[in-house]
Amino acid sequence: MCGERQLKNPATVNRSHMDNFQELIEIINYKFKNIEILDQAMTHRSYSFEFSNGAVDNERLEFLGDSIIGLCISNEIYHRYPDYPEGKLTLIKSYLASKKFLAELANTIQLGKFIKLGTGEEKTGGRNRITLLANAFEALTGAIFIDGGYSCSCEFLNQFLQPKLDNIGDHVNFQNFKNLLQIHFQKEYGKLPHYIIQEESGPQHEKIYTIAVLFDDNILGTGSDSSKKKASQKAAENALNNLDIL
């Protein structure tokens, strides 16, 4: 049994027993059978290295958690959006599995204050660093998988995913279409498309750039905007639609 999956308000949780992570257990509403695996998940390599106390850091759990998160997300969106093509599912997964999003989830459960850091990492603001927080969230997910199994780790994750999935279109529209196009061509052909400025129009202070994305000298798509970066994204999106990937 995984227990209730409803998060408790961190502000109402008893702050006692910090050393054995009782507060974190209350926040996430998952009771570990083996508290040592949670301790490992919260041990950053800087702590393990600096104090040389034999503590195992969380990098292996982070590796495992990354895979579990990807599988849980893929399974959830595959069944939730049966009509979405692979490209659109990839965009959704890319957003939900991104370091930025996972760091947001880590902040939701105040994970930063439970991470065991070395002195140097602490002084340089590691507790608030996006990558460190995201990695710790992955490690926590990995720890729940080891302790309670796949279903428990997915239940833990899905409580965060559901609110986002209800309005996922608002987020997908801002994803990196260039990155998705690169992933597709790297996977299918082993090389990447490239971008050129096809046209510049308008006065100097209001220029409009038309960008074309090409592969083997064939134009895949075009996009126009006052920003070259945005025009490139529009070109990539246009190419993805032309290729029936989105």
For 65-107, the pLDDT digits (tens) are: 999 999 999 999 999 989 888 878 888 888 889 898 999 999 9
CATH code: domain of residue 154: 1.10.1520.10
C-beta of residue 58 within 8 angstroms of C-beta of residue 134: no
Model confidence, pTM: 0.73
With a cut of 70, which residues of the chain have pLDDT below it? 1, 3-20, 52-54, 169-175, 246
pLDDT at res. 5: 45
Q: Which of 138, 147, 155, 237 is catalytic?
A: 138
pLDDT at res. 16: 37
Pairwise CA distance, residues 153 & 7, whole Å: 14
Q: How many residues does the chain have?
A: 246
Residues 185, 166 share a domain: no
Residues 150, 30 share a domain: yes
Does the annotation count 216 as an active-site position? no
Q: Which residues make beta-bridge pairs with 200?
A: 209
Q: Which of 66, 76, 147, 155 is catalytic?
A: 66
Helix (H, G, I), strand (E, B) or coil at 186: helix
In-domain check, residue 35: yes
Comparing CA positions, the residue from 92, 109, 75 lying closest to residue 6 is 109
Residues 211, 152 share a domain: no
Cα angle: 163, vertex 156, 172; to 5 degrees = 35
Question: For residue 141, what are the domain limits?
Answer: 10-172
Does the annotation count 200 as an active-site position? no
Tally of domains in the chain = 2
Residues 123, 193 share a domain: no
Within its chain, how far is the Cα of 240 from the centroid? 22
Structure tokens at 221: 């798509």
Residues 207, 152 share a domain: no
Helix (H, G, I), strand (E, B) or coil at 40: helix
